[in-house]
Structure 1
Amino acid sequence: MPDLPQHRPVLAGTAHNVTGPGIRLEALPEGHLLHVLGGTEPAALAAELTKAGFAESSIRQAGFRQWFVAGDAPLSSAGLETLTAALAGKAFVMDQSHGRVRIGISGRSARLLLSKGTAVDLDPAVFQENSSAMTMIGHISVQIARTGDDSFELTVLRSFAESLWDELKDMAAGAEG
C-alpha cells in the first residue's frame, strides 16, 4: 500500500518557542485560516462565524472587502459548509488553512523587533489592538495583526514560514532592550 501524505506542521522541525529578554517567538497552532471576500461587514461576518462554530476565531482585514478568519481549532468541513452557505450571494469563503502559517511575537521588545523588518507604524496610538496590515518583512509578504499590548501575529504563506522564522530569530538576537 502506498504511503499516504501525512500532515506535518511546517515549523515542526524548529523549536516551537524562542524566548529571550523581552521577546517570545511562537509557532502557533495550524488551526484554520479562511479568506473571505465580498460585501459582508465584520459584524455580520462575526455573527455567521458564531453560528458556524468559529466563535473563537478572529477577523482581520486583508484588503478591500477581504478578511482573514484565523483560529487555533482545526477546520471542520461541517463548519466550513455552514459558513459558506450562510454567506452565499454575499461573500466567498476560501480555506487557506493548509497554505498559510501563523507566528506569534510578544514581549516588551516585540515592536522593536518588527520595526527592523517592516515600515508599518506599530505605535499603539496608530496601530491599535485588533488592527492588521499586509506588509513585507524583508522580501516576505506577511499579514501583521496586533493581538495585544505587546503581542502580534504574523500570517505568512506556508512555503516562506521557515525563512521568516529564521529571519525573526536573527532579528530577535539584537532586539532585546
Structure 2
Amino acid sequence: MDYSTVLPFTAVTESERTLQQKVAGGAFYRVDRQVSYHQVLFENNQNGATDVDPTQEVTLGVDASQADTFSEQTSITGGYERGFGIKDTNKLNIGFAEQLGYATTTDVGMLMTETTTRDLPVGAGCVGALWTSYHRICPVRYDGTHLVADDGLGFDANSSITNTTYPAPAVRP
C-alpha cells in the first residue's frame, strides 16, 4: 500500500450492510491504493542477427459509464361545479399540464479507459523486458475486512519500465 485515505460511509456504496450497521460499526471507510509492476513483454534476442521490436496492446484504466434519461409526463384534469342560490352558477374547469425532464448521470469514481501499444526495441544480441505499473484500489471497512471479494479494483496505468541487457564487450588480448 502506498497511499490511503478515509471517506465517510455515505461516499461508499455497500448494499450488504444496513444504515444502522454502518453507523454503529464505524462511520468511515479507508481506501487503500496498492501499486505493483508486472511483466508485459520479454524478448530474448541473444542469438539474433537483427534488431526486433515486439509490441503489445494494453488497456489502461476502467470503463466509465454515463446514462441519459428523458421523461415526459402529461396530465389533464377536469371538473364541473354547479351552484344553486340567488343566482345559479355553472362552472367548467379544465386543466392541462405537461412536464418534460432530462437528466444525465455519470458514475462517480470511474476512471477513463484507453488502449495504448507498448513496444520494446531489442537490438541484435540483446535481451529486453518491459514492465507496466498496476494499481489496485481497495475499500476497507472499519473492522479491516475488504468490501470487494477479489481485494479491490485493479487497472494498468500509463507508466512503464524497460530494461535491456547488452552483450559483454569482447576481451582483447
TM-score (norm 1): 0.20
Q: TM-score, normalised by structure 2?
A: 0.20
Structure with more contact order per residue of length (Cα contacts < 8 Å, sep ≥ 6): 2
Structure whose alpha-carbon radius of gyration is higher: 2
Structure number with the higher helix fraction is 1
